[in-house]
Amino acid sequence: MRWYQPLLYLWASPTTLLGLSVLPIVLWQRGTVRLVAGVVEISGGIVTRLLTSHMPWIGSAAAMTLGHVVWGVDQACLDRTRAHERVHVRQYERWGPFFIPAYFISGWLIARRGGNPYYDNPFEREAYEKAP
């Protein structure tokens, strides 16, 4: 672990706490929780329902990152998207609590110019380039 790693966790912690907020419900619904290389991966139950029906701009998603937490529809989705979602973890470490507003403002500006707010978003483009 690098000496500054705890600072990166602290900087991303507001969003990490948001990602962990579903933990009691997921456990009650017999979902799964795993720690993989310093990132909490959660799947099943309410997480599956949120990802498959309530994602802005795209409708549904296989996985989503919130700080150092990744929500996935199921374990197969978490395994398949791990490299992509880890790019988002690094983005949260850079942007901290500003990541979510920056992500949505970017998408909104892109949509206003006629682009796709998800695929043309620079945060997603970086994740797809680094982890195709």
Please write the tens of the pLDDT for every residue from 67-113.
Answer: 999 999 999 999 999 999 999 999 999 999 999 999 999 999 999 99
Contacts of 47 (CB under 8 A, 6+ apart): 22, 26, 31, 71, 72, 73
pTM as predicted: 0.93
Q: Delimit the domains of the chain by residue range.
A: 5-130
Residue 54 clears pLDDT 90, i.e. is over it:
no
Bridge-partner residues for 33, per DSSP?
A: 42
